[in-house]
Amino acid sequence: MKTTDNYYKEFFVLLAKSIIFILLTALLLAGCNRPAPAMPAATAQSLPVLSIESSSATTEAEFPAAIQGTTDIEIRPQVTGTLDKVFVDEGAYVSKGQPLFKINDHPYTEQLNNAMASQSAAEAAAINAQLEVDKFTPLVQNKVVSDYQLKTAKANLLIAKANVVQARAAVASARINLGYTMIKAPVSGYIGRLPKKQGSQINPADPEAMTTLSDVKQVYAYFSLGENDFMSFKSQYQGNTIGDKLKTLPPVSLVLADNSVYTESGKIDMVDGQFDKT
């Protein structure tokens, strides 16, 4: 009886294990057959779109330039003396005829006075010589005196008249020299550097000018091109000669020291025969 009970007990235990195994297997198979969760659909990312078109472009090149006026006049003295006054400042604008410098004029005033006195004496001598001629003329005609005295009087008159001419020339020269003591602007423009100060000795033979006066109504900007830039210019612009090529160049602008652009544009006027190799 015990044997039979043990047999049934083992049978039910084995049956229970089999049922559990079958259930676990069914669960595993159900899990393997379950479809994977659906992934969200990828959305297209918006990107900017650029339209490419062909067009003309302008390139610019910058070159350092030196500005000079069309007329740069060296102001030099015509007479020697002491510089009494300087009427202008460096960089100032002056008009034509405006006084710039004053040289001590006292010596030249005295020279003019002496020349005028000599002229008066010469004119008086000429009058006296004329009186001598007038006196001897009737006497010679009446044969009171010899013809020799009349000829001598006429010769003295010619000498006196020549002395008058010479004296007048001396007066004119003295007056010109006196005028040179006041140095005026020959043209309108801007004053350059002033190396001579009040009290300096002035001489026409001085190697350095008193100043430079620049007429800047129209100015030139001088700049250098390298060899590569010059060759590029020759190949880029049409024309048989350099002058023909210059005519096809566009206007140029001048950038000032404060990086502002000058209001007026210019044009390339000429090309020198030498170029900068650096």
Residue 122 or 275, more confident = 122
- The model's confidence at residue 32, banded by pLDDT at 50, 70 and 90, is low
CA distance linking residue 81 with residue 201, whole number of Å:
6
Task: Write down the pLDDT at residue 107.
Answer: 95
Does residue 79 surpass a pLDDT of 50?
Answer: yes
Q: Which of 101, 105, 124, 102 is nearest to 113 (CA)?
A: 105
Residue 187 is given by DSSP the state S
Query: How is residue 272 written in tokens?
Result: 């020198």
- Alpha carbons 76 and 210: distance in angstroms, whole number: 6
**Cα distance between residue 89 and residue 190, in whole Å:** 10
Q: What is the pLDDT of residues 108-131, one digit of tens each?
A: 999 999 999 999 999 999 999 999
What are the E-state strand segments in 5-134? Answer: 65-75, 81-86, 93-94, 99-103
Structure tokens at 270: 């000429």
**pLDDT higher than threshold 60 for residue 31:** no
Q: Quick check: helix, strand or coil at residue 52?
A: coil
Taken in order of first residue, the domains within the chain and their CATH numbers are 72-101+182-212 (2.40.50.100), 105-180 (1.10.287.470), 224-278 (no CATH)
Residue 235 token pair: 């190949």
- Amino acid at position 53, single letter: E
For residue 155, CA distances in Å to 79, 126, 134, 146 come to 38, 11, 13, 15
Reading the block at residue 14, the tokens are 């084995």
145 φ/ψ angles, rounded to the nearest 5 degrees: -125, 165
Contact indicator for 210, 101 with CB cutoff of 8 Å: yes
Assigned token pair, 229: 């830039």
pLDDT (tens digit per residue) in 87-105 = 999 989 999 999 999 999 9
Quick one: tokens of 197?
């100060």
pLDDT of residue 41: 60
Quickly tell me which residue has 């801007």 as its tokens: 190
pLDDT band at 170 (very low <50, low <70, confident <90, very high): very high
CA distance 74 to 96: 14
In 28-177 the beta strands, taken as DSSP E runs, fall at 65-75, 81-86, 93-94, 99-103
Q: Which two tokens stand for residue 74?
A: 């060296």
Strand partners, 67: 221
Whether residue 75 contacts residue 211, with contact meaning beta carbons closer than 8 Å, is answered with yes
Percentage of the chain modeled with pLDDT above 70: 81
**CA dist., res. 164 & res. 121, Å (int):** 8
pLDDT digits (tens, 9 = 90+) for 208-230: 999 999 876 777 778 777 777 77
